[in-house]
Amino acid sequence: MLLAGVLLLILLTGYAGIVLFYFLLQERFIFLRIRTRQGHQYRYRTDFEERWLSTADGARLHALYFKAAKPRGVLIYFHGNAGSLRRWGRFSARFTALGYDVLMPDPRGYGKSRGRSSQTALIADAGLWYDSLLTQWTEADIVLYGRSMGSALATPVAAHRSPRLLLLETPFANLIDVARSYLPILPYRVLLRYPFRNDEAMVRVRCPVYIFHGKRDPVVPYTSALKLYARVPSSVQRELFTFPKGHHSDLERFPRFHRIQERLLAFPEDQ
């Protein structure tokens, strides 16, 4: 009995240590931030400019605004959790080729953006970037695009505004699903400071919603995308595009992925 009690104590102590370790260091697992020096000069073939926003809590936010030759709309691209605009900026080219300007922000702590991070702050920042476009464009001209972690910014913004479309590439219903797929034994509902409940925000979205996901995704479980899709209101035009051989970061290699996006992003007058 004594030995069993000692073993149980060791197990409980070890488990508590793992829980504390994850609680304290969770941001390092969730966000793979790479900073860029403020004086860095970006180089892209597409015409672009740097844009800045200041927030009430003192954050300084940075984005790149890529310009189409003859823009007829604008797309806000919220990128994934790894890297910065030095990596993600190249993804703007396929949208500018379709006639869209592209606003691509770096969240706090990424690239040139600075500020203390929290889930509330990150989502509020995304809304500020959306609102900054309203001096140039109407909401009917704005498309929201969320890539992986970026879906956690695009979805709540769409829930509180009226964009033309919401496009989500490899999104999750909530970050609890993703965490459990890696280590299911931790109490993430208590631990996570960034649960990113896309599923709760999605029920308030009123624009068309289109989701792209690979069945072989090892990062965000396909089942989580299914849960998110199920939360899209039935009154909303929606579709889930599944790629049976798709993983997390390779949907671009499928011609079908490009054909579908070109169709969805076509302007009404061209159809």
pLDDT in tens, 123-137: 999 999 999 999 999
Whole-model pTM: value is 0.93
What is the CB neighbour count within 10 angstroms for residue 163? 25
pLDDT score for 185? 79
Nearest to 216 by CA among 256, 149, 170: 170
pLDDT tens digits, one per residue of 102-124:
999 999 999 999 999 999 999 99
Beta strands in 134-254, from DSSP E residues, in sequence order: 142-147, 165-169, 209-214, 238-243
Cβ contacts of 243 within 8 Å, gap of 6 or more:
212, 213, 214, 215, 251, 254, 256, 257
CB count within 10 Å of CB 59 equals 21
**Which of 17, 85, 3 shows the shortest CA–CA distance to 51?**
85
Would you say 145 and 75 are in contact if contact means Cβ atoms under 8 Å apart? yes
Query: pLDDT tens for residues 133-163?
Result: 999 999 999 999 999 999 999 999 999 999 9
Phi-psi region of 83 (alpha: psi -120 to 50; beta: other; left: phi over 0): left
What's the confidence (pLDDT) of residue 267?
A: 82
- Give me the pLDDT at residue 15, please: 66
**Residue 121 confidence (pLDDT):** 97
According to DSSP, residue 107 is labeled P
| Secondary structure class of 240 (helix, strand, coil) | strand
Q: What is the mean pLDDT of residues 203-213?
A: 98
pLDDT at 11 over 80: no
Question: What tokens appear for 185 in the block?
Answer: 């034994």
Strands 238-243 and 100-106: unpaired
Instruction: Assign residue 117 a region (left: φ > 0; alpha: ψ between -120 and 50; beta: otherwise).
Output: beta
Report in angstroms the alpha-carbon separations of 179 from 125, 218, 250, 253: 24, 12, 21, 27
| Residue 212: strand pairing partners | 169, 241
User: What pLDDT digit, counting tens, does each position of 16-50 carry?
Assistant: 667 666 667 678 878 889 899 999 999 998 899 99
Torsions phi, psi for 80 (to 5 deg): -75, -175
- Which pLDDT tens digit goes with each residue over 181-193? 887 877 888 888 9
Please report the pLDDT score of residue 184 as a whole number. 80
